[in-house]
């Protein structure tokens, strides 16, 4: 785990509540330099400690170590070739739930895909295929819009959305998108002002899908009308597919906005630093 033996590590942790601030800072820096491998040891020390000051210091250290790991993983994801959407959503999720395993999330998504796939028919036209997905996701599996707690941070956490079956436009669209693309359908995300939707784009046909409204199908003119209602001038990006970086960026902005509503300014700043990584 480190170049320090257990006795030395214990001695270090015991100095986390030292009255000398310089000593405390030195101890923090030393523990932090040991990296994320030290986390299980720190969590064990937190459980066995009866000193609330040391427990508090351990909590901060563990969070800082986990957040550093998240930033590194996000950089790697940004620089990866495929920028897998589910991996990006998992990374956002680990901000709140650092112990969440990607494999668990992947297995849950595969189960949803399987439910849709068993009802799916390849020989149907696009509208009917979309109606099948809508029926399974919104009627059988009962996914729905979380209108009561729209600004809850949980809406940006795909694991929470899979558990509660309630989410915001972007998480519901992301689940829908992952399923549709695995079925081989040309379905993509679209960044609209105040709303995230999907589009089905082929050589023959283009239409839009609102996963926040049970997969409602609408046309380009409806997007134009929506923008007119908001008094926003149309832009190409409001009609065309976006990529996984933009989906993850929008998810992070939603999450930051949720924390802002809750007055959790430290978390807002941390989310901003994650956004900065993707905008670099």
3-7, 24-28, 172-176, 214-218 — which is least confidently predicted?
Answer: 3-7
Helix axis angle, 244-262 to 85-96, nearest 10°: 20
Tens digits of per-residue pLDDT, 63-75?
999 999 999 999 9
Query: Residue 1: is its pLDDT beyond 50?
Result: no
- My answer on whether 95 and 222 are in the same domain is yes
Query: Residue 267: is its pLDDT beyond 90?
Result: yes
Query: Residue 279: is its pLDDT beyond 60?
Result: yes
Query: Residue 2: is its pLDDT beyond 60?
Result: no
**End residue of a domain, out of 35, 54, 79:** 79
Q: CA–CA distance from 10 to each of 26, 27, 34, 78, 96 (Å)?
A: 15, 11, 14, 38, 28
Q: Which domain holds residue 60?
A: 6-79
> b or e along 98-127 (b: 16 or more beta carbons within 10 Å of the residue's beta carbon)?
bebeeeebeeebeebbeebeeebeeeeebe
For residue 31, the domain's CATH number is 1.25.10
Helix axis angle, 85-96 to 102-119, nearest 10°: 130
171 domain-assigned:
yes
- My answer on whether 169 and 231 are in the same domain is yes
- Total structural domains within the chain: 2
* pLDDT reported for residue 31: 86
Q: Please, what is the average pLDDT of the chain? A: 93
1 domain-assigned:
no
């Amino acid at each position: 785990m480190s170049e320090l033996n257990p006795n030395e590590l214990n001695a270090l942790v015991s100095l986390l509540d030292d009255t000398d601030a310089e000593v405390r800072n030195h101890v923090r820096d030393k523990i932090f330099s040991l990296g994320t491998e030290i986390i299980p040891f720190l969590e064990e020390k937190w459980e066995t400690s009866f000193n609330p000051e040391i427990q508090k210091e351990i909590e901060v250290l563990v969070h800082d170590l986990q957040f550093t790991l998240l930033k590194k993983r996000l950089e790697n994801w940004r620089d990866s070739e495929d920028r897998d959407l589910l991996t990006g959503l998992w990374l956002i999720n680990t901000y709140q739930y650092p112990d969440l395993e990607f494999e668990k999330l992947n297995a849950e998504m595969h189960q949803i895909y399987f439910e849709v796939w068993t009802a799916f028919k390849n020989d149907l036209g696009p509208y009917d295929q979309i109606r099948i997905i809508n029926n399974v996701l919104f009627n059988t599996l009962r996914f729905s819009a979380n209108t009561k707690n729209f600004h809850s941070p949980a809406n940006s956490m795909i694991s929470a959305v899979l558990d509660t079956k309630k989410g915001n436009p972007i998480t519901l669209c992301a689940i829908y998108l992952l399923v549709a693309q695995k079925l081989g359908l040309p379905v993509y995300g679209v960044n609209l002002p105040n709303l995230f939707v999907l589009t089905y784009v082929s050589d023959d046909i283009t239409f839009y899908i609102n996963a926040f409204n049970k997969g409602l199908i609408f046309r380009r003119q409806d997007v134009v009308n929506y923008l007119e209602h908001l008094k926003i001038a149309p832009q190409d990006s409001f009609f065309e597919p976006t990529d996984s970086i933009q989906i993850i960026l929008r998810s992070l902005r939603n999450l930051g906005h949720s924390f802002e509503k809750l007055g959790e300014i430290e978390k807002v700043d941390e989310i901003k630093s994650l956004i900065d990584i993707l905008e670099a």
